[in-house]
Structure 1
Amino acid sequence: MAHLKQTFSSFFNCLRETPSLFLGLMRLDSCLDTDEERVNFARRDELNRAHSEEPDGPLNFELDVCHQDPEYMFPAPLPHAQVKLITSWEAGWNVTNAIQGIFVLGLPYALLHSGYSGLLLIVLAAALCCYTGKILIVCLYEENEDGQLVRVRDTYEDIANACSKKLSPKLGGIIVNVTQVVELIMTCILYLIVSGNLLSQSFPYIALTEKTWSVIAFVTLLPCVFIRTLKIVSKLSQLCSLVHFVIILVVISYCLTQIHQWSWAKFRLSIEFEDFLVSVGVIIFSYTSQIFLPTLEGNMKNPEEFRCMLNWTHFFACVLKTTFALTAFLTWGEETKEVITDNLPSFLKTLVNLCLLTKALLSYPLPFFAATEIVYSCISKGNHSNYRSLLLSLGVRGSFLLLTLLMAMFTPHFALLMGLSGSVTGAAMTFLLPSLFHLKLKWKKLSFLEKCADISVFILGLLCSLAGIVCSIKGLLEVFGGV
């Protein structure tokens, strides 16, 4: 079996040029457990209107009555929509899926280039992403005249519109929607490319090119056109997460058999700046799930438990990632490969290779469904006759499915372009926008320390984004012969 390093070499080479190449990949395994048909993934949220009040909870969801913005227009409620609320445990499972992506396999390689600081980064990244997730949800709520918190906004788009309403009522929402679609579609394309590479390496005795294998992978994904509910996506995501934990279990189990050769002397005391940026990109952005949190919180039976849920899910992810990265790096040290499974014996590599292929194919439906629902809702514009049009629905999904194939086949140096777009969209959705929106909407109620925290997060996100943009452009100029 050929090395997985060959399978992913193009992507990890690009990662050395940008700290946020895999930004989009790290957040796309989450799923929402609902039964409603044709739900709008980014603008829903008739969900709260379908259960406008939780009688036993401390939070009142009186969206249609208590919305503070008279210009805010809710989309028309879905006819006969049925909502299945989720428990805090189920919500936590979804968040865990979102922050346990396929390229967590690169964490040991990140430790190789960051040394002891990498261990600190894993903990710090968990804390920062947990914090931005919380302040994003805070932006959904306002206090009414009685001092009670009321959920007056439903989506990331609603928050953006509230912040930009003085400039333009819809400008913020448009920017957020475009950012989400770009990030999700680029991620779909990358999954398709990875699937083609894995198929090529899994069956080297078949004389087919990687692009041909990508077409074969595309054929297996055609049923995505007929996915109409998030319930189906949820089942696929659960299978994807199961495969992911099998991979992690295999690697950690093998590393424990080599515990006799572990040595802390393998950690670096000095690091190189560009290599350190690689580690920052892999570690920080492996925790991102902000794009899904507003809808997830809106589907919870007890939304007041959201903060606690976010705390323990990120704590669990931090422990798991630290254990995985540490055991793998202590096992192989300086010989740690870009994809840690490349260090495994051949018989385990074959198993993990097939698991990675399965995970890549199962990961595709969620970002695909999310992106098409955003575009579909914009096209339909609340018109129920269009919303129910099977032809329109199939047309949007089919067009996007074909778009991902064409870009995977014909876009040169796609991984570098992915790094460039990820540096903008990923950093914006994870750090820049949550902190900026929180400052904008809650400035008068924030303490001095909270303002400092938001400003610090914004600056950190800006620096990460600029570093990624500069390095990605540098890489593009090099491959196109500009420098």
Structure 2
Amino acid sequence: MAHLKQTFSSLFKCFRETPSLFLGLMRWDSCLDTDEEHVNFAKSDELNRAHSENREGPDGPLKFELDICHQDPEYKSPAPLPHAQAKLITSWEAGWNVTNAIQGIFVLGLPYALLHSGYSGLLLIVLAAALCCYTGKILIACLYEENEDGQLIRVRDTYEDIANACCKKLSPSVGGVVVNVTQVVELIMTCILYLVASGNLLSHSFPYVSVTEKTWSVIAFVTLLPCIFIRTLKIVSKLSQLCSLVHFVIIFVVITYCLTQMDQWSWAKFRMSLEFEDFLVSVGVIIFSYTSQIFLPTLEGNMKNPGEFRCMLNWTHFLACILKTTFALTAFLTWGEKTKEVITDNLPSFLETLVNLCLLTKALLSYPLPFFAATEIVYSCISKDNHSNYRSPLLALTVRGSFLLLTLLMAMFTPHFALLMGLSGSVTGAAMTFLLPSLFHLKLKWKKLSFLEKCADISVFILGFLCSLAGIVCSIKGLLEVFGGV
């Protein structure tokens, strides 16, 4: 599929120079509602106060294993709020949002990552699922504190609240400011990437139409204008469900074709020797295809039954691990050393149109979640000191419209966007996924953690630091080469 190769060639060229470019692809933050009759996730919101006062979190210490499903037997539902309760999401809907976050477009690069990591790549796929599931759990644990009776009570609502609690001796709000800026940068960069990808896909899907790629991006932008009017996480969850279903169609098509080629499979195709830089590319692709930590605190707070959150997180990561392993393994066994950076390039031409349209649909359906999350973070920050404006529909539309236009302008006029995203992702992505969850957990729960839990958090922190450092070095090197500095 030649046109798909052209679509992603610039991005995957950067992946070789920027192993952590995937850091910025799958970062979702809290998705907030802004209407008075809907759920509101700012600290001043009535529903969050009800959650903090009336419910308990998951009981007992967090476990590292993926196969533990636990729900607090004494879980208490929030106080009745008829309008808000109607907009809370089920565990299934929460699962679709997480699946949308950890099953992105660039899962198509996993077979290529396996090419450069060999047998260790299979282990990395499983290990990455365990690590990201674990950091998601410890991040949620930071939202809870024990009361006088030893029961876990939700006393914080967002990533910002956790940061402020850890930095309160330094400054009451500095931690939250840093976290919010980091979140918005990553989410907006992700939105821009989806818009760029949509323009590329449209351009190569209709080569006979004399329209530039930027013009196609504007056309894709027009189809995304309804995002301005999305006010609830429930609507975003439905879009995430559709996005995940389209993703499964793509995976099904590839795996089905590979199964028809089983007679060509050979385990001898796996590489035993590894190139260090190529291995870093594989680590970046595999580990950061699972990330959804920024999105989790408010997702858990918006569930009808938050006690099911850990079970939901276990199952989504477990199933993602199975699906990604199966997909990467069957594709690599089919094409071996001929595996392309985007695996759909290896497919025969008669599957070209179907896969291309599915990729375009997935890119467009993936856009609303990070866009909605980013605009609501800014909206809540603007309005937190003025509750009368906090529920202003006009202010919400202004913020959303401004951000939608911003993503279009940056998609059209930012030079070397992929490399710049790799650099920002190396700093912000590793921090939000590994560094901050482990650091906050150690800070807030140090006295209650066992020795093994402390060792696990410290190990995750070191891993995140090394990934971030390697990504920064490679990103800067790539930018210097592009601008003629080296």
* Pair in the same fold by TM > 0.5: yes
Q: CA deviation at 1:63?
A: 29
- The CA deviation string for residues 208-244 of structure 1, in whole angstroms up to 9 with x for no partner, is 2211111111111112122222222222211111111
Question: C-alpha distance in 2, partners of 1:459/1:372?
Answer: 32
Once residues 239 and 44 of structure 1 are traced to their aligned partners in structure 2, the CA distance between those partners, rounded to angstroms, is 32
Please report how far the alpha carbon of residue 95 of structure 1 lies from its aligned counterpart in structure 2 after TM superposition.
Answer: 2.2
CA RMSD between the two structures = 5.4
Partner Cα separation in structure 2 for residue 267 and residue 55 of structure 1: 42
When residues 455 and 410 of structure 1 are mapped into structure 2, their CA distance, relative to the original with a 3 A threshold, is same
Please give the residue correspondences for 1:59-458 in structure 2 after superposition, counting only pairs within 5 Å: 81-458=84-461
Instruction: Tell me the distance in 2 between the aligned counterparts of 1:79 and 1:451.
Output: 42
Structure 1 unaligned residues grouped into runs of 5+: none
Q: List gaps (5 residues or longer) in structure 2.
A: none
Counterparts of 1:363 and 1:109, CA distance in 2: 23
| In 1, Cα distance between equivalents of 2:252 and 2:385 | 46
Counterpart-to-counterpart distance in 1, 2:14 and 2:452: 37
User: Are the equivalent residues in 2 in contact too, given 1:416–1:476 (CA < 8 A)?
Assistant: yes
Q: Deviations over 1:72-127 (max 9, x none)?
A: 99999999644544444443333223211111010000001111110010011011
C-alpha separation between the residues in 1 aligned to 2:276 and 2:378? 40
Q: What secondary structure sits across from 1:150 in the alignment?
A: strand
Bigger drift between 368-377 and 55-64 goes to 55-64
Question: Identity over the aligned pairs, expressed in percent?
Answer: 91
- Higher mean alpha-carbon deviation, 97-106 vs 21-30, is at 21-30
| Cα contact 1:113–1:271 (8 A) shared by 2 | yes
Q: Which has the larger displacement, 454-463 or 222-231? A: 222-231
Which piece of structure 1 moves more, 289-298 or 81-90?
81-90
**Bigger mean CA deviation after superposition, 27-36 or 348-357:** 27-36
Distance in 1 (CA, whole Å) between partners of 2:259 and 2:242 is: 26
Following superposition, the deviation at residue 188 of structure 1 comes to 0.5
Q: Return closer, same or farther for 1:54/1:135 CA change in 2, 3 Å cut-off.
A: closer
Evaluate the alpha carbon distance shift between residue 200 and residue 176 of structure 1 in structure 2; reply closer, same or farther with a 3 A threshold: same
SS at match of 2:86: coil
Q: Is the 8 A contact 1:29 1:97 kept in 2?
A: no
Preserved CA contact (<8 Å) 2:20 2:426: yes
More divergent stretch after superposition (30-39 vs 428-437): 30-39
Judge conservation of contact 1:43–1:374 (CA < 8 Å) in 2.
Answer: no
**SS of residue matched to 2:75:** coil
Q: Which residue of 2 aligns with 1:21?
A: 21
> Partner of 2:44 in structure 1?
44
Q: Secondary structure at the match of 2:282?
A: helix
CA shift in 2, pair 1:70/1:380, >3 Å: farther
Q: Structure 2 CA distance, aligned partners of 1:97 and 1:409?
A: 26
Contact preservation (8 Å) 2:39, 2:88: no
Moved more, 253-262 or 38-47: 38-47
For 1:64 and 1:10, the matched residues in 2 are separated by 39
3-state secondary structure, aligned to 2:145: strand
Asked if the contact 1:419/1:468 (under 8 Å) is kept, the reply is yes
Question: Judging changes above 3 Å, is the alpha-carbon distance between structure 1 residues 168 and 75 closer, same or farther for their aligned structure 2 residues?
Answer: farther
Residues 183, 426 of structure 1: 8 Å contact kept: yes
Residues 41 and 373 in structure 1, CA contact (< 8 A), matched pair in contact too: no
- CA–CA distance in structure 2, aligned partners of residues 229 and 475 of structure 1: 40
Cα shift readout 1:156-185 (whole Å, capped 9, x = no counterpart): 111101000000011111111111100000
Q: CA deviation at 1:287?
A: 0.8
> How many aligned positions are there?
483
1:183-212 CA distances to partner (integer Å, 9 max, x unpaired)? 000000000100010001100111122111
8 Å CA contact retained: 1:27, 1:288: yes
Question: In 1, are the aligned partners of 2:103 and 2:320 still within 8 Å (CA)?
Answer: yes
Deviations 1:8-44 (A, max 9, x none): 0000011111122122323559989999756556768
Alpha-carbon contact 1:35-1:231 (below 8 Å) kept: no
- Counterpart Cα distance in 1 of 2:75 and 2:319: 38
Return closer, same or farther for 1:61/1:86 CA change in 2, 3 Å cut-off.
farther
Further displaced range: 151-160 or 374-383: 374-383
> Residue 293 of structure 1: CA displacement?
1.4
Q: Secondary structure at the match of 1:51?
A: helix
Distance 1:237 1:174 in 2: 28
Q: CA deviation at 1:307?
A: 2.5
CA deviation after TM superposition for structure 1 residue 45, in Å: 5.8
1:260–1:154: structure 2 CA closer, same or farther, 3 Å change rule? same
- Range that drifts further, 455-464 or 56-65: 56-65
1:142 match: secondary structure: strand
